[in-house]
Each structure stands twice: as structure tokens, then as C-alpha cells.
Amino acid sequence: MTGSTPQTHERIVDGIAYTVETSLHERGISIVVTVPGIGPEEENDRTYASEDEALAAGDEIARLLIHRQGPKR
């Protein structure tokens, strides 16, 4: 089974807007997190049981990407 049509969710973490794209697959929901100015971070090896779990993981990934780049406020 191939993935479903990806859905894009706009989110905010630590005051910075980012997007998380979710796709439903046979094994669960996969995500791709994109933070403007930092780029996409693809989670190929992990799937999530629910959309809420996937979005929460997206928040954590975005937070890590933002903090890895250092303060820009």
C-alpha cells in the first residue's frame, strides 16, 4: 500500500511557525517537518498510531531543529 495524499498542518512551536506533513501508510502515519529557513526534516523510519501523536512528534522535531540553529529572535 502506498501512502495517502499528504496533509499539511501549520503549527507554531516556541513562537516560530512551521509545517508538518502527515501521510497515512499501512504501518501508521509518517511525517515530514519543515521549518522555514532551516529546511525539511524527514522521519522515514518512524510511524505514529494517531494524528495527535504524529503532530506532537512534529512539534518536538521542529523544536530540536530550531534550537540546533541557535536563537534568531
Q: Where are the domains of the chain?
A: 7-69
Distances in Å between the alpha carbon of 28 and those of 4, 22, 44?
11, 10, 12
User: What does DSSP assign to residue 36?
Assistant: T
How far apart (Å, rounded) are the C-alpha atoms in residues 17 and 25? 26
Going residue by residue through the chain, which has 73 residues, state the pLDDT in tens, using 9 for 90 and above.
456 789 999 999 999 999 999 999 988 999 999 999 988 887 767 899 999 999 999 999 999 999 987 655 4
* Residues whose CB is less than 8 angstroms from the CB of residue 70 and which lie 6 or more positions away in sequence, other chains included: none
pLDDT of res. 20:
95
Q: Does the predicted TM-score (pTM) go above 0.75?
A: yes
Look at residue 40 in the predicted model and tell me its pLDDT: 86
Q: Do the beta carbons of residue 65 and residue 41 sit within 8 Å? A: yes
Residue 22 confidence (pLDDT):
95
- What is the predicted pLDDT for the residue at 36? 92
